[in-house]
Amino acid sequence: MWQTYLWVALGSGVGGAARLLCSDIAERLVGIGFPWGTLSVNVLGSLLIGVAAALVVPAGRLEPGGALQQFLMVGILGGYTTFTAFSLQTLDLARNCDLGKAAGYVAATIDLCLAGAGGAVLTGAGQGRLAGRELTPAWPRCLLPPVRDGGARQ
């Protein structure tokens, strides 16, 4: 059992390094005004997890639950992007005709992840202000109320 964890850890390192490389390449090619690196990693990772899943189906070439599958799908592709698991799990729900669950999973993932990240950023910024440190505004400036007195936004 511990050997599987070791393989997954090794694969995660490979996947994480590949993610950084692909993100850097995408940003060099198209710039940093939009998260093209992350988008390209998520799309490529989702494509690759689909290929890997096709290899694991009953007539596939990989043993379901075997060390190679865990190394590739959980380790490398999981380290590359966790969006791979999200994509595959959503497809599994849809394939089982659980379309409501699939849609709910997509909505919950997006909503809760954005809420979690936003809440953490706001909490961290608030804690910084309480400690007397001025931080970059945590909330997008376009969503903040306008400053009416001509003063700087705090």
90, part of any domain: no
Region 127-142: mean pLDDT is 61
Do both 77 and 6 map to the same domain?
A: yes
Structure confidence at residue 51 (pLDDT): 87
Domain boundary among 81, 106, 129: 81
51, part of any domain: yes
Name the CA dihedral angle for 51, 85, 65, 101, rounded to a multiple of 10 degrees.
-110
120, part of any domain: yes
Q: Are 52 and 62 in contact (CB under 8 A)?
A: yes
pLDDT band for position 82 (50/70/90)? confident
Structure token digits, residue 18: 């590949």
Do both 112 and 69 map to the same domain?
A: no
Which pTM value belongs to this model? 0.68
Q: Alpha-carbon distance 20 to 131, whole Å?
A: 34
Q: Alpha-carbon distance 118 to 132, whole Å?
A: 21
Query: Residue 74 pLDDT > 60, yes or no?
Result: yes
Q: Alpha-carbon distance 28 to 53, whole Å?
A: 31
Query: Which range of residues forms the domain containing residue 25?
Result: 1-81
Each residue's pLDDT tens digit, 6-45 = 999 999 999 999 999 999 999 899 988 888 888 889 899 9
Structure confidence at residue 15 (pLDDT): 96
Do both 102 and 71 map to the same domain?
A: no
